[in-house]
Amino acid sequence: MTDTAAGPRTPWHLWVVGILALLWCAAGAYTFFMAQQGRLPNIDPEEAAYYANLRIWQIALLGVNTIGGVVAALLLLLRNKLSMWLFAVSVLGIIVINTAELITGDSRMLVDRGALIATPVIFAIAVLLVVYASAMKKRGVLR
């Protein structure tokens, strides 16, 4: 990677991570919005009931998290340092909503093995995206 007048060149891995992040976040947004509308194909009745019974603050926070992730991935591809902050906000949102659901007993992790596995995986990927974007910011790749 060589430096230019506009800063360091875009490393190849930024494209890989950015595109994978965009696909990952877009899939999450699609799943959430389709399930919220009751139009997600092949959804089991318990999961459909979970989405149907979400409180308005949960819907708003999940919407912000999913759309925020898509925007953060796009900003990463555009080499914008705001991507790091949006990824961080998504991590915070994941913590808030999952903690609240565990406290109230509404968490799918309490009744569904798939959710018990998927939720920590989603969290770990979100944290890794923050770490990656932060590293790219420190290297001067993100402006």
Residue 142 has pLDDT above 80, yes or no: yes
Helix (H, G, I), strand (E, B) or coil at 8: strand
Q: How high is the pLDDT of residue 83?
A: 98
Q: Give the Cα separation of 41 and 31 in Å (integer).
A: 9
Give the DSSP per-residue string, 63-107: HHHHHHHHHHHHHHHTT-THHHHHHHHHHHHHHHHHHHHHHHT--
Percent of the chain with pLDDT strictly greater than 90: 81
Residue 8 has pLDDT above 80, yes or no: no
Residue 5 has pLDDT above 70, yes or no: no
Q: Are 83 and 73 in contact (CB under 8 A)?
A: yes
